Amino acid sequence: MPDLLARVFMVAGALVVLIGALGLIRLPDFFTRLHAASVVDTLGLWLLMAGLILLSPSWVVTFKLVLILALVFVLSPLSAHVLARSALSSGLRPWYRHERTRRLRADKPKADKPQSMP
Amino acid sequence: MIEFINAAADIVLLALLLASAVMILRSASPLSVVVISTIYSLTICMLFVVMDAVDVAFTEAAVGAGISGVLMLSVIKRVDEPVSRNAANENAWPSPLALLCAAGLGIMLIAGTLDMPLYGDPGAPVHQHLVSRYLFESKIEIGIPNTVTSVLASYRGYDTLGEVVVIFTAGTAVLILLAGVTQASPVSPRPGFMAAPVIRRVLLRIVPLVLLFALYVQFHGDYGPGGGFQAGVIFAAGVITWGLLSRTGTMQSIISERWTLFAMGAGVLLYGLTGIAGMFAGGQFLNYSVLAKSPTAGQHAGILMIEFGVGVTVAFTMISLFMSFNREEP
């Protein structure tokens, strides 16, 4: 039974990572690609690791896998954050579907800020 | 099926290696060269894992993909005028003579590999001579499970001493070149980057874990993959991460540069003195068997000592280099 469950987890994880890879190729700009790579990878790795934990032969291996899981859970979003932040601060602008929106946003840089509540 | 997957993994990794090598040749900015060479190191690290050379993969991941990137980026930041390749030469063909020489050398190298035994062939000469002794006798002679550590630290302790001296010498040479050089614009991240609380908070909590892991790798090297080289680099990586997160000068005010220099030499000294202790106890240079009552206990003690020396030298060489790249203007 845990064998079957492990297989389900790992196939699901592989599919999720595959979707992420497709997104990395197909999406239009740096930020959307980063989003595809990081968010999806975290979930995919969790599913793969869950499968491996079910298959692990001893508690030591389980513990190590859980440790890796915890580190990836923290560090993978963090590295995506660092990348996105430094891209934005070095002047890369996010992609918009319509050129008009991009120009509007570029003219009014404050437009992104949330309006203060009245 | 397994063989097919292994072959596929080999081909994909080697293709990635080749692609990143070509990209390094073609890229115009030093920054992208550094980034791509990090990818190159990570790929070659995975190839080492495929070859079951976990200890080497460990080192490659920590040095190639970790610290050398940071040090190279520090160098790029220091250079005022970033060296960019001439755009006009970018797409020009290399001279026919150079092309001929490179092609000739390549053909000779490929012809040379034809004489070599197949990868993993147990009948290859290299597996006939000493390897069987290392694999079968080291558990009795040295008494530790990790054969790599017994070969590195005991059977070939003299080679390893040479390696540590090389690291020490190279580090000293760079430090002499940089002596007294200070920097107007610090390498530390821009103020905007510093202000990101997520990065700071998470990394400041990770750094102690990294240091703890380095100590584990240091003292568990007899039983699993690891040892002084890996532990030293991981320790330095933790300290450097902390240094990148804090304001320039903070590191210098907490860790004295004099003491890092002292520690660099102390590691080599500890290694050499362990070797000389063997001579005084009635054996040869770097013979640990005579250090304790039983030979295996002596080997344990000797390996622990020299691995610690290696770790200290490696860690503090890296830290000194990073600190001298980031010296604040007085």
Q: How confident is the model at residue A112 (pLDDT cuts 50, 70, 90)?
A: very low
Q: Which residues of B125-141 are buried (b: 16+ CB within 10 A; e: fewer)?
A: eeeeeeeeebeeebeeb
Residue B197: count other Cβ atoms within 10 Å of its Cβ: 8
In total, the C-beta contacts within 8 angstroms joining chain A to chain B are: 19
Q: How confident is the model at residue A115 (pLDDT cuts 50, 70, 90)?
A: very low
- B24: Cβ–Cβ under 8 A, 6 or more apart, which residues? B33, B36, B37, B40
| Stretch among A40-44, B245-249, B282-286 having the lowest mean pLDDT | B245-249
* Test mutation, A64, A67, A85, chain B, max B CBs within 10 A: A85
Average pLDDT in the B123-134 region? Answer: 81
CA distance A71 to chain B (A): 9
Average pLDDT in the A28-57 region? Answer: 89
Q: Do the Cβ atoms of B206 and A81 come within 8 Å?
A: no
Which pLDDT score, from 0 to 100, does residue B84 have? 58
Cβ pair B139, B145 in contact under 8 A: yes
Chain B 184-213, residues with CB within 8 Å of chain A CB atoms: 190, 192-193, 196, 198-199, 202-203, 206
pLDDT tens for residues B20-51?
Answer: 999 998 887 888 899 999 999 999 999 999 88
Chain B CB contacts of A85 under 8 Å are: 193, 196, 199
pLDDT tens for residues B284-313?
Answer: 888 888 888 888 888 888 999 999 999 999
Q: Do the Cβ atoms of B196 and A85 come within 8 Å?
A: yes
Average pLDDT in the B251-260 region? Answer: 84
Indicate the residue of B190, B199, B206 with minimum beta-carbon distance to A82.
B199
pLDDT tens for residues B186-221?
Answer: 554 444 455 578 888 888 889 999 999 999 999 988
Q: Do the Cβ atoms of B199 and A81 come within 8 Å?
A: yes
CA distance A98 to chain B (A): 30
Does B81 score more than 60 pLDDT? no
Q: Do the Cβ atoms of B199 and A86 come within 8 Å?
A: no
Indicate the residue of A78, A86, A89 with minimum beta-carbon distance to B198.
A78
Its pTM stands at: 0.84
- More reliable by pLDDT, B282 or B271: B271
Q: How confident is the model at residue B146 (pLDDT cuts 50, 70, 90)?
A: confident
Q: Do the Cβ atoms of A89 and B193 come within 8 Å?
A: yes
- More reliable by pLDDT, A111 or B174: B174
CA distance A89 to chain B (A): 8
Q: Do the Cβ atoms of B198 and A81 come within 8 Å?
A: yes
| Stretch among A58-62, B176-180, B214-218, B240-244 having the lowest mean pLDDT | B176-180
**Which residue is closest to A81 within chain B, CA to CA?**
B199
Residue with tokens 């291996």: A61
Does B268 score more than 90 pLDDT? yes
Does A117 score more than 60 pLDDT? no
Mean pLDDT estimate for chain B: 85
Which pLDDT score, from 0 to 100, does residue B160 have? 93
